[in-house]
Amino acid sequence: MIDASAGPLEYAVAGEGVPLMMIHGTGGGFDQGLLFAAGLRRSGFRIVAPSRFGYLGSAFPDDASPARQADTLVELLDRLGTGRLPVIGGSAGALTAAEFALRHPDRCSHLVLIVPAANLTNRDPVEFTAPQRLAMGAVLGSDFWFWSLSRLAPGQMIRTLLATDPTLLDRVPEAERLRAHAILDQIFPISRKVDGLRNDGFWAGTPTPTAYERIAAPTLILSCEDDLFGTAGTARLLADRIPDTRLILYPDGGHIWLGHDDGLTGEIADFIPRTERS
């Protein structure tokens, strides 16, 4: 933990090598950041994984915007003695990662956005049905209901919360099935993440204030065509807005890029020049 200007900020550091910051997605925390970056850690990166506002031990200030979060992450890097580094954001964490690259270009060498959340069309890309809204409300309000449903109906939870077709689980290696269930399990206890979840829902659904066209860092964007949160369409729009961008879209995999973690890790490792890792 550090005492930042916005309040306590929780983080983890793991691995050896050149530092890289992994900003977790909705329902996560530093633990999800470490899970998303596990392959990169094995590839020789040192992972800095913060918990964003409203998640686990991090504060939830009055201004919990992605821009304020980006500024607070600079305080973390200053405390760690870390200068310029690649920054990766997954899902709603992509909002903060993009603001970091925009607001602090001297600290961001490369930007990677994975299944990025953003409202670029003045319309929330995630539309829940009435039953889905009821289920989400029950789950977000109760550790008991989250735990029960994740045990009794894990497939439905993977579809609703992780925006991934659960039938894909039958077509991927065991390691990928375990990763999917680990992502779901890490959302528990929901009570320590409610503020962050609701904040992400607001900022991901609100028309974006981020000037993506002014991002100067080389950028890699990755998504899956069948992501039930619609991030493939968002990824295409972002690739048109951010000047120096490479776009990779997998045909399947959902919001957790199921079956593509090794490939995604390899693409990111190749994207970061070897001079960054010397």
Which pLDDT score, from 0 to 100, does residue 237 have?
Answer: 97
AA identity, residue 187: I
Better pLDDT: 191 or 252 = 252
Span 21-49, average pLDDT: 96
Q: What is the pLDDT of residues 231-251, one digit of tens each?
A: 999 999 999 999 999 999 999
Beta bridge partners of 46: 19
Mean pLDDT calculated for residue range 141-168? 86
Predicted TM-score (pTM) of the model is 0.94
pLDDT tens digits, one per residue of 56-97: 999 999 999 999 999 999 999 999 999 999 999 999 999 999
The pLDDT of residue 274 is 56
What average pLDDT does the chain have?
93
- HSE-up of residue 178 (Cα within 13 Å, Cβ side): 4
Domains, the chain: 2-277 (3.40.50.1820)
223 CB contacts (<8 Å, ≥6 apart)?
Answer: 114, 115, 116, 231, 232, 234, 235, 248, 249, 250
Instruction: Cite the beta strand spans of 61-174 per DSSP E.
Output: 85-90, 108-114
Query: What pLDDT score was predicted for residue 143?
Result: 84
Q: Give per-residue pLDDT as tens, 119-152.
A: 999 887 776 666 556 666 666 778 887 888 788 8
When pLDDT is averaged across residues 193-221 and rounded to a whole number, the result is 95
pLDDT value of residue 153: 85
Q: Which of 15-29, 153-167, 259-273 shows the lowest mean pLDDT across its residues?
A: 153-167
